[in-house]
Chains A and B, each alone.
Chain A
């Protein structure tokens, strides 16, 4: 085949040759492994919740207690995943989980509980919030909400010479990533850490935030993790998304909420529940020196992973991340 670029070999042959070279290269060097992480262990709570009709506030309270979460007097920003929204679908964080999180943090004595998101594809964040049921299902939602894409910004270190981020997120005492458990067709999985892409302002970086893709999704996830050490993760795995996530996958009933203050540990735990090897998720490997990813360094509370493990379907290019 002669391509439009005038090359005389076919793409398939080119790829095969590249594959052989890559395999030889891989054999010649050892793939970097997970680092041990900081001293001590990280607590991650796994709570069963069979449906969104369950007492989610009670689940979250038990999880918060298990993680010894103390937010008294703190300004808390809840960051749901609203990258897009399909009414009744599983792209976004379920309203019931976000509403329960508002109640949880208020009941724990936070001085302020706000909600912020900067959707990745569409500009009308408040409309998306309405479609997701947030404006009717969450008390005082409009007063709590900030569109992080169009917020005031401040420049912070990181990302090769600095990046502008939403001031509302930077000013919070605690950023709580309230994500949905989903596969991701570029990163393998999108959980509490990847959800922080929403604090990057579209007003400067666009819709989508291509800046992060150009730098590398994995590296960008790791950079944001470094910028927000005061964070907490709640992953909605009651019904997740499998296959061609984060937008076009299928619902996957998993029946869990996963919580913890170490987002790397939360994400690694979610991966193990989803049947994904955290060691093969590049952004987890990148943050493994700063967070706990190794199973022996994560103090699992609540349910055991083995009891709730629910393998999520993976697209062909991510079959290699399947947990053995």
Chain B
């Protein structure tokens, strides 16, 4: 195991909260997102078995009535990181009822821009934000619009889940989500948070969301993968953001099977970065 991955796993083990979850930073309150990432990273580590079990119990206790998972102990509403929990179930080979209801919740969730009034508003002023409102992705929060990052995570989760569950509309939902991502691609070839053109002006892409979108597109035939991955590697080399570098490395690991060797600072104290750097994304995506 590379030293950098080892150090990330050690950080995760040390940063677990008494309730079994992880905060975004050590000592902060537990959230679903960093907890799910930490469990994805620690899941294959025999030495972390107890830590995993405690985290798993917390995650399972956070499922809400409608099938989605809460974002933290305080918040009752289902959270976009339900996608990560569905992916986590896939990697553990657990296809039980909570998993199924989580998949159902994800399939039924869509961005508010597909609603009739939103579509009318877009039809009246299509140049305000240019996108196709017929292609609904996933929102950060129920009742709001679709954005790239939650859509990418939902696609990754449902693509894995589709191999194990029969759910009416699942394949179609995945197809529409991928088309949404392709339609939101920026002119420079990458993705930002989800607006490629606003008020007639092109917006630039970001490295982290570009990596996530490419991971979710999972070898899609409409992406020119050779040039794109070369570009990803170049951006990875030039990026100063640890989070962006972590996602770009995850993308390269998924498609090339090799994680680029990081020469940057080892630990930033950011649980998200540590976990994304430690997760075996090539295995997660193939689970």
Contacts and interface: CB of A to CB of B under 8 A. Distances in A.
Query: Which 10 pairs show the lowest CB-CB distances between chains A and B?
Result: A206-B140, A150-B24, A127-B241, A210-B144, A124-B243, A124-B241, A152-B29, A121-B193, A214-B144, A248-B201
Given A126-B268, A127-B243, A214-B112, A208 B193 contact: yes
A52 interface: no
Contacts of B244: 124, 127
A11 interface: yes
A185 B125 CA distance: 14
A244 B24 contact: no
B199 A15 contact: no
A315 B199 contact: yes
Given A127-B243, A204-B72, A315-B199, 11 more contacts: A15-B124, A123-B272, A124-B241, A150-B24, A153-B75, A205-B140, A205-B141, A206-B144, A210-B141, A213-B144, A214-B112
Interface of A: 3, 5, 11, 14-15, 18, 121-124, 126-127, 130-131, 147, 150-155, 164, 185, 203-208, 210-211, 213-214, 244, 248, 315
5 contacts: A11-B124, A124-B208, A127-B242, A147-B24, A150-B272
Contacts of A210: 139-141, 144-145, 147
A18 B268 CA distance: 54
B60 interface: no
Contacts of A131: 240
Contacts of B243: 123-124, 127
Nearest to B147: A206
Contacts of A3: 123
A164 B74 contact: yes
B124 A211 contact: no
A210 B71 CA distance: 16
A206 B206 contact: no
Contacts of A213: 144
A131 B203 CA distance: 19
B31 interface: yes
Given A185-B199, A203-B31, A244-B199, A211 B240 contact: no
Nearest to A128: B241
B33 A203 contact: yes
Nearest to A212: B144
Nearest to A248: B201
B266 interface: no
A155 B71 CA distance: 14
Contacts of B126: 11
B201 A122 contact: no
B149 interface: yes
B223 interface: no
B75 A124 contact: no
Instruction: Give the one of B150, B201, B242, B270 with max A CB within 10 A.
Output: B270
Contacts of B242: 124, 127
B75 A204 contact: yes
A164 B25 CA distance: 18
A126 B15 CA distance: 20
B192 interface: yes
A107 B31 CA distance: 37
A119 to B, nearest CB: 11
A215 to B, nearest CB: 10
Interface string B223-267: 000000000000000001111100000000000000000000000
Contact of A206 (B80, B124, B201): B80
Nearest to B206: A122
Contact of B240 (A15, A121, A130, A208): A130
Nearest to A142: B269
Nearest to A153: B74
A185 B201 CA distance: 12
B165 interface: no
B164 interface: no
A270 B201 CA distance: 26
Nearest to A150: B24
A150 B269 CA distance: 13
B241 A211 contact: no
B143 interface: yes
Contact of B72 (A121, A153, A208): A153
A206 B152 CA distance: 14
Contacts of B119: 5
Contact of A207 (B143, B149, B198, B270): B149
Contact of B123 (A11, A122, A206, A248): A11
A141 B199 CA distance: 36
A244 B203 CA distance: 12
Nearest to A164: B75
Contacts of B198: 185
* Candidate in A152, A154, A211, A213 with the most chain B CB atoms within 10 angstroms: A152
A213 B128 CA distance: 14
Nearest to B28: A152
A155 B72 CA distance: 12
Contacts of B79: 204
B176 to A, nearest CB: 16
Contact of A155 (B24, B74, B139, B140): B74
Nearest to A208: B193
Contacts of A126: 268, 270
Nearest to A147: B24
Contacts of B29: 152-153
